[in-house]
Amino acid sequence: MLSTRGRFGHALHLPMCYDATITKTRKIFRKKIEIKKITSIFKHMIFKMHHLLKNILNRTLSLIKPMITALLKTLSGPWYYENIYYKYRFHKMSFWQRGLARLFFMPMALGLRLINESIRHRLEIPHLEMPITTRCNLHCRDCANLIPFFPHPVDFDINRLTKDADDFLVNVDRVHRFIIMGGETFLYRELYRLVSYLIQQNKISLVHIFTNGSIIPGPDILQLLQHRKILVTISSFPVEVSPNKLCFIATMEANHINYRVEYNLWRDLGGFNPAVDSNTEVLKHRFANCRSKVCHNFSNGEYHLCPRSIHGERLGQFSPDESDRVIFRDRKNPQVLRKELRELLHKEYITACSKCTGIYEETLSPGIQMGRGTVSNCPG
Ligand code: SF4
Ligand code: SF4
């Protein structure tokens, strides 16, 4: 028996089993507290682990996200166009055919690129633009190449152009797409000689001609354009501005010429002398977001990153920095030129960006004219 005090001070006599029950209860209580403690420690650990894993995952994602984005951009951007899109004439296919063909050709083209760049160390130029004339029959207010501002438009000397192209090709392993443009390309008087020369060059995969579609080429040129290496692009002018456009397209069809028609709007680069902020950080940002920085231009024997760099200099707008160009004329030294080219490709902006808005969005109606008439020579 166990004696203890009751509520009113009387001695209470409790049985022995009460003591055991208390001890047991205490034990259970202690156990419960311990379990609670362990559970809370465990919960805390899980919370910490979750936090840690989340941090690791976020950090890993922030590290690999730009890499994945860059890879996707590479696989679907300019590289895709040079190595797959133009090569296999995807522009002739329907949307679904293009998608399937893309999946089919991608691994092969990717493998070829890796072998050529990483193992064979070849210098392959994705695409290059060569202006051949500053003559044009249209006077577009928003011409990206500033052609209407040339006071004395001229055709560039054919011998000089082919000699410069020779000097360039001897120093590189391949040019996937060699673009010729104007002014209006079909106004160039020596077009037959120039195109004949370019399609004979083994290092050039595709000769791409841009036109406003207003000049219907003669029979000899049309025959030349049937060559498998030729692609003609008709820019996105409305027929009111380029009234021969439909006739031009029909002529391409009738002569089985590889062609495509653009439908895009234009970007506002600010005309001849735009008032723009030329702060270094602004220039870097403008250049980094500009699409034209991949429109590499080869003119006067020099390699520039953007057509406005060479045209702006011709118009006396500014003098490009020496590091804004690589001179190929009369030079044969692939190692040195490769190094100079690599340095140019790593530039964060060029002098021309201080005379350009570099607006990314395509917002302008194509081909708004500055008041002069158009040429019509459609036989129809
Ligand atoms: S057609 Fe218009 S955009 Fe094309 S070169 Fe001539 S002026 Fe420039
Ligand atoms: S921002 Fe620079 S790279 Fe872009 S179009 Fe203008 S001059 Fe060329």
Question: With a 6 A CB cut-off, is 259 part of the ligand 2 pocket?
Answer: no
| pLDDT in the model for residue 372 | 52
For a pocket test of ligand 2, which of 353, 357, 361, 362 has the largest count of ligand atoms closer than 8 A to its C-beta?
353
Q: What is the dotted CATH code of the domain comprising 124-364?
A: 3.20.20
Question: What are the tens digits of pLDDT across the range 296-311?
Answer: 999 999 999 999 999 9
**205 alpha carbon to ligand 1 midpoint, in Å?**
26
- The ligand 1 site (C-beta within 6 Å) comprises 136, 138-140, 143, 145, 147-148, 182-184, 212
For a pocket test of ligand 2, which of 305, 306, 317 has the largest count of ligand atoms closer than 8 A to its C-beta?
306
Number of Cβ within 10 Å of residue 237's Cβ equals 22
In a 3-state reduction of DSSP, which class is residue 359? coil
| Spatial separation of the C-alpha atoms in residues 94 and 201, rounded to whole Å | 31
**183 alpha carbon to ligand 1 midpoint, in Å?**
6
For residue 178 the two structure tokens come to 């060699």
**Concatenated DSSP letters of 64-124:** HHHHHHHHHHHHHSHHHIIIIITTTTGGGS-HHHHHHHHHHHHHHHHHHHHIIIIIS---E
For the chain, give the number of residues: 380
Closest ligand 1 atom number to CA of residue 242? 1
Q: Is 5 exposed, middle or buried (0-12, 13-18, 19+ CB in 10 A)?
A: exposed
For a pocket test of ligand 1, which of 130, 142, 143 has the largest count of ligand atoms closer than 8 A to its C-beta?
143
Dihedral of alpha carbons 222, 226, 229, 234, sign: positive
| Spatial separation of the C-alpha atoms in residues 361 and 84, rounded to whole Å | 25
Closest ligand 2 atom number to CA of residue 356? 6
- Report which protein residue has its CA nearest ligand 2's atom 8: 306
| Spatial separation of the C-alpha atoms in residues 101 and 87, rounded to whole Å | 12
For a pocket test of ligand 1, which of 135, 136, 154 has the largest count of ligand atoms closer than 8 A to its C-beta?
136
| pLDDT in the model for residue 91 | 82
Q: What is the dihedral of CA 34, 38, 39, 40, to 10 degrees?
A: 100
In the chain, where the domains are located: 124-364
Closest ligand 2 atom number to CA of residue 309? 7
Model pTM score: 0.77
**143 alpha carbon to ligand 1 midpoint, in Å?**
5
Residues 6 or more apart in contact with residue 11 via CB below 8 angstroms: 3, 4, 5
How, if at all, do strands 204-211 and 230-234 pair?
Answer: parallel
| Spatial separation of the C-alpha atoms in residues 21 and 218, rounded to whole Å | 113
Amino acid letter, 372: R
| pLDDT in the model for residue 15 | 55
| pLDDT in the model for residue 1 | 44
Closest ligand 2 atom number to CA of residue 293? 3
The answer to whether 339 touches 316, Cβ cutoff 8 Å, is no
pLDDT along the chain (380 residues), means of 10: 47 59 79 83 87 88 79 69 79 83 81 79 89 95 91 96 96 93 95 97 95 96 95 94 95 96 88 86 93 90 94 90 95 90 93 88 86 44
